[in-house]
Amino acid sequence: MCRFDHESSRRCEVFSGLFICRYVVNVGACLHERRSCRSVSGLPCTMRVCTRRRSRMFRLWLLIVFLSLHLLVVSLVLSIYHTSCELHSNPDIQTSISFSVQTTSTSTSKMATLGSVTQEVEMDSAADAFAKLEALFSHPLYNLPTPPVSDGDWLLKVRTKKKEEEHSTQQWLSANEDGYDPIVWNASAETHPPWLRFHLGISRWQMYQHKDPNLSALTQQLASHRIVSAVQKSGGTQLKLVMSFPNYGQALFKPMKQERHEETNVNLYYFSDFERHNAEIAAFHLDRILGFRRVPPVVGRLIHVIKEIKDITTDHKLATTFFTSPVGNACFYGQCSYYCSTEHAICGRPLKIEGSMAAMLPDLSLASRRSWRSPWRRSYSRTKLALWETESNYCDAVKKIPPYDRGTRLVDLIDLSILDFLMSNMDRHHYETFEKFGNSTFLIHLDNGRAFGRHSKDEPSILAPLVQCCRVRRSTLLRLRLLSLPSYRLSDVMRASLSQDPLVAVAPLLTEPHLSALDRRLETVIQTIQDCLQQHQHHSDVIYDDITDYLGA
């Protein structure tokens, strides 16, 4: 057997305060007996010694790592303890941390409070605007006593059905009754659907009454009633659809073509501009606020392109124009004189589109209408001017031509020019009246789609009838002055009135710059009338007094 040298030296070292003994083995004696020295496992003596040394070195390194980790933990504990002591001993640091937390909490609280205050301010502002609108419609100028309407002054009236007329009356029913409600109407107004009450309420002097109880029901029907048919309306330069309801009512649908905030390109001529669905809606509200009541009721609505147009249309030409855009939107373009192509398609987002729904007037077979060419019609030419744009005494010639030589036709037309100027509508080439009433009736304010195209510029030429003729209704002037007062400001009452439309849930129908433009243009109209009063010695030459019994200024 191989023996270790008895004189092997033991050497001790101190590491981190602990004694670790390491043996130094003299293996010289074993080298002489290498061949004979064998272990039980058969390994040479030298390898046994090396294995023992490696084992001891491995344990030594494990001990070193353990001690190092121990010292590191102790150092961290001492560091944390020292920092904690400093925090307790330094009140300024503690106060700073506390103040920082309080500041963050206060800032969050202030933001929440500010948001709440802003919301409350907006609610107060809306409530204030509604109060102004209610006060305006309650003003004596909007509630003047009117004489009873005679039978001859109603556009339509219900006839008692006689036996001999029963067959001809039944012929009025649609040939395709799929989806329509059964008719249960009689002479009683309570049984009539809202659209029929609207038709029966049209008189010689107005489209509907000031406080018409049927108006709310009619607009509700236009906004939500199920659509059973959709066909393209013939004529016109741009796409329009006639929508039918189960109760046989109908509405004219004008789809959205551009965003509300988009202004008309300055290089476009007035006759090249798109029609706007929101302009049709806003024109109805403005016409009502001015006290004219000559625009048929209009309301906004979201329409499903597939379910409420494509799937129910019987218009084969319209049906062939539907397609799906590259991004998956349902589109169609119809057939018309202008802007009916794939480049100008009407597209959903992805399936629904906005549009205006205007109550249809009675069928022409029941109430025929006459179209009049406006004396102040534009040339619709890029190079030529109209006669009224070059002749300074043009109005004198107009006053000699029937029907402008008598009655209220001239002041009716000037009312229309004031409405058009306020909403910046240059596209008034014709107007219509109901033939039944002859020349003594109101003008129907139709087709307002090219209004509210530009808020940044006013077009003074629209007021040419007022400027050149210096004639205006007294009732119109008093209402304009009323709307210029802070308590009845035009922009405020328009905002309140438009906020009742369903499409406000998507976005305001008129942007704030357009509402501000209304106030600015109103001042221009009032100043123009004031200039006329200064030019004429007698106010009666300017003011047509249509409310002689009203004593207000």
In sequence order, what are the residues at sequence separation of 6 or more whose Cβ sits closer than 8 angstroms to the Cβ of residue 130? 496
Write the DSSP string, 249-313: -EEEEEE--S-TTPPPPTTS-GGGSPP-HHHHHHHHHHHHHTT---SPPEEEEEEETIIIIITT-
List, as one string, the DSSP characters of 169-187. HHTTS-S--TTPPPP---S
Catalytic, 151? Answer no
Among 379, 416, 430, 153, which Cα is nearest to 287's? 416
CA dist 553 and 544 (Å) reads: 14
Gyration radius (Cα) of the chain, Å: 44
Helices (H), 451-548: 464-469, 474-483, 490-498, 512-535
Q: Annotated catalytic residue: which of 412, 427, 447, 492?
A: 427
- Residues 433, 485: Cα–Cα separation, whole Å: 33
Question: Residues 441, 434: contact at Cβ < 8 Å?
Answer: yes
Beta bridge partners of 301: 355
**CA 61/CA 57 separation, integer angstroms:** 6
Output DSSP code: residue 328: S
DSSP string, 335-383: --SSS-SGGG-EE-SSSEEEEEEEEPPPPTTTS-EEEEE-TT-----SS
Residue closest to 419 by CA, chosen among 387, 451, 396, 380: 451
Q: What is d(CA 212, CA 189) in angstroms, rounded to the nearest whole number? A: 14
The residue behind tokens 């600015």 is: 520
- Give residue 346's identity as a one-letter amino acid code: I
CB 424 within 8 A of CB 458: yes
Distance CA 104, CA 101 (A): 5
Q: How many CA atoms are closer than 13 Å to the CA of 188, on its beta-carbon side?
A: 4
Q: How far is CA 55 from CA 20, 67, 444, 465, in A?
A: 15, 19, 110, 114
Cβ atoms < 10 Å from Cβ of 288:
20
Task: Give percent helix, percent strand, percent coil of the chain, each to the nearest 5.
Answer: 45, 10, 45
The amino acid occupying position 365 is S
Beta pairing class for 472-473 and 543-544: parallel
The residues that are catalytic are 427
